[in-house]
Chain A
């Protein structure tokens, strides 16, 4: 009997994955080794250099939002926030990694503040989880629909201002990267989304770390003569590089890169979503399977994508009207709260609960019902990200050039029309081009989720991996069909508060 014939399909699959891992380990792509980009990122002030333009843009957006045109499509605050920023963020995460957190303008202001204000408190132990940011994330999605944030430059400006204020208050009181790790809803979105990124800040050679006694990557590089003086801070989010796995909680701040005295931390290539396929102990996080809060975050991320898109298509108004008639509800916030509860709480509990029950009963997985649910919840992250990509990518690509007339208009309004009169007909790529890209994103997400679920099922049930996988595979397909259906619905964007 020849060797290939003796191999089962699972063994073949395993061998393929091993070969791929060996290849990646042998020749990992390192962004820091790329000419121009690498030296730039290694420069100690590289993050500041990236943050300054975003801070400048943020300040302009705040003023423009408060004092500029009241009509959303003509105001830089709304156009940049709801078209370009969101779209560029997800595209950057897909192509590279968590680049927004890297160039976060809020952190620049915070660092500036910390030159004078030194926080003294530690974040309460009970709050060291993701429940607060989950609540804030849902609150942002809810407010977005209720107040029609996209239609109001004034509210958009206040959201940005509120964010700056929250950063300064939280990180003015609490030490380390409290805001990023335990509060920031945008950060949590980026953390979950970047689990499918192709790049990761990681150790190049673990043997070098084995011989390291100073642990500068987490403690920070100290002045030799006075160890209390930190020359370069270490990871503020408590991620110890040698034990760090994946992108969860990593802001790509590159503090560890700059702090490592052995130049042993790089931005390395990896298999996208690979970190979701196994469950090792992760520095600063623990095991994913024991973190109900992060699993809930992944679910809110996935089902929030559906809800956010559902709020922008015609059927949502049919459902809202039906709810109003049936429940005799006149309060829009109440109707929206019911919808949110149904999509973000009831739907995942029912669907995942059923899938977990089938996995336990059919494949004989011995984990508890909650344990199985938590374990497989992460598998939905790629599909959720596909939906965010499809949604935000749609606005980004179809409105790509709108920043041009908006900038022209802003300059013309202040009596400095150096870019000419606004060309309002400049919009973006045609829908015929963008729609196939949207479905491509969704298919990528589906493939990622199926692959993660399959790998988890293989680990959970050696005898019946297909039985363990089947309910989750069906769930992924159902969610994919929901996403695809949403994408084919006519857009219908209503704001409760119209400008003007």
Chain B
């Protein structure tokens, strides 16, 4: 008479209890291995995140530079608009000779950023056209390289650019 514990594998062969125990023990071992593998993967996944936490670039070193920006006309409409801004130092003196790249980003990810290089129109005053190619909220970034080589970045929010 067949034992009640007997079972069949997928090919239909009968398996006795001893064999099943061996398979069970083997599969437990594999499960443990899988569990360890999972933990390792988890640590590997966490590693870049910890790196992100610990290794962020420090804030820019030109805290004494301030920017006073304006955009005209208001409200801003889609199309090319002029952005002008003034760079001053801690003594409120104009900062001249800086190279400034202006970048316009939509608030939504996945959209093409707009770039333009600013021109110094008078001491410390810079101007550039920027193409706002769609309506919505924009963020304008000023990537500034000072004449002494220091680099800094400033940001301006342009809310509610209206579609034409």
Option from A413, A424, A498 in Cβ contact (under 8 Å) with B113 = A424
A148 within 8 A of B: yes
Number of interface residues of A (CB under 8 A): 58
Option from A74, A75, A263, A495 in Cβ contact (under 8 Å) with B137 = A495
Chain A neighbourhood of B117, CB < 8 A: none
Chain A neighbourhood of B159, CB < 8 A: 494, 498
Given contacts A74-B105, A224-B20, A493-B135, list 7 more A-B pairs with CB under 8 A. A52-B45, A56-B45, A112-B38, A395-B110, A399-B111, A425-B115, A490-B163
A230 within 8 A of B: no
A27 within 8 A of B: no
Which of B52-60, B63-71, B80-88 faces chain A? Answer: B52-60
Chain A neighbourhood of B110, CB < 8 A: 73, 79, 82-83, 395-396, 398-399, 402, 427-428
Chain B nearest CB from A169 CB (Å) reads 20
State whether B134 touches A490 (Cβ < 8 A): yes
Option from B48, B53, B105, B109 in Cβ contact (under 8 Å) with A399 = B109
State whether A498 touches B139 (Cβ < 8 A): yes
Contact with B along A417-443 (1 / 0, CB 8 A): 000000011011000000000000000
Cα–Cα, bound, A416→B57 (Å): 11
Contact with A along B132-161 (1 / 0, CB 8 A): 001111010100000000000001010110
State whether A62 touches B134 (Cβ < 8 A): no
Cα–Cα, bound, A223→B108 (Å): 53
A-B contact pairs, 28 of them (CB 8 A): A60-B48, A60-B52, A62-B49, A63-B52, A67-B52, A71-B155, A75-B109, A150-B109, A151-B108, A224-B7, A224-B20, A225-B17, A231-B27, A261-B10, A317-B160, A396-B110, A413-B56, A424-B113, A425-B112, A425-B113, A491-B135, A492-B134, A493-B108, A493-B135, A494-B107, A495-B108, A498-B139, A500-B155
**B1-25 interface with A by 8 A CB criterion:** 5-7, 10, 17, 20-21, 24
Cα–Cα, bound, A62→B109 (Å): 16
**A304-338 interface with B by 8 A CB criterion:** 312, 314, 317
Chain B nearest CB from A257 CB (Å) reads 13
Closest to A399 in B: B110
Chain A neighbourhood of B72, CB < 8 A: none
User: Measuring CB to CB, which residues of chain A are less than 8 angstroms from any residue of chain B?
Assistant: 45, 48, 52, 55-56, 59-60, 62-64, 67-68, 71-75, 78-79, 82-83, 112, 115, 148, 150-151, 223-225, 231, 261, 263, 312, 314, 317, 395-396, 398-399, 402, 410, 413-416, 424-425, 427-428, 490-495, 498-500
State whether A493 touches B109 (Cβ < 8 A): no
Chain B nearest CB from A109 CB (Å) reads 9
Chain B nearest CB from A245 CB (Å) reads 27
Chain A neighbourhood of B108, CB < 8 A: 72-73, 82, 150-151, 312, 395, 493, 495
Cα–Cα, bound, A500→B52 (Å): 19
Chain A nearest CB from B21 CB (Å) reads 8
Cα–Cα, bound, A48→B36 (Å): 13
State whether B20 touches A150 (Cβ < 8 A): no
State whether B56 touches A427 (Cβ < 8 A): no
User: Measuring CB to CB, which residues of chain B are less than 8 angstroms from any residue of chain A?
Assistant: 5-7, 10, 17, 20-21, 24, 27, 34-35, 38, 41-42, 44-46, 48-57, 78, 103, 105-113, 115, 134-137, 139, 141, 155, 157, 159-160, 162-164
Cα–Cα, bound, A206→B41 (Å): 40
Chain A neighbourhood of B42, CB < 8 A: 55
Cα–Cα, bound, A45→B53 (Å): 32
Closest to A58 in B: B45
Chain A neighbourhood of B115, CB < 8 A: 424-425
State whether A494 touches B45 (Cβ < 8 A): no
Chain B nearest CB from A270 CB (Å) reads 27
State whether B51 touches A494 (Cβ < 8 A): no
Cα–Cα, bound, A68→B105 (Å): 17
State whether A60 touches B113 (Cβ < 8 A): no
Cα–Cα, bound, A151→B107 (Å): 5
With A60-B52, A399-B111, A414-B51 in contact, is A494–B38 under 8 Å at CB? no
State whether B49 touches A60 (Cβ < 8 A): yes
Closest 9 CB pairs of A and B: A399-B110, A56-B45, A492-B135, A63-B49, A83-B110, A493-B136, A490-B163, A414-B55, A151-B107
Chain A nearest CB from B40 CB (Å) reads 10
State whether B78 touches A490 (Cβ < 8 A): yes
Cα–Cα, bound, A72→B109 (Å): 6
Chain B neighbourhood of A263, CB < 8 A: 10
Chain B nearest CB from A213 CB (Å) reads 13
Cα–Cα, bound, A317→B160 (Å): 10
State whether A499 touches B109 (Cβ < 8 A): no
With A67-B52, A223-B24, A490-B163 in contact, is A59–B107 under 8 Å at CB? no
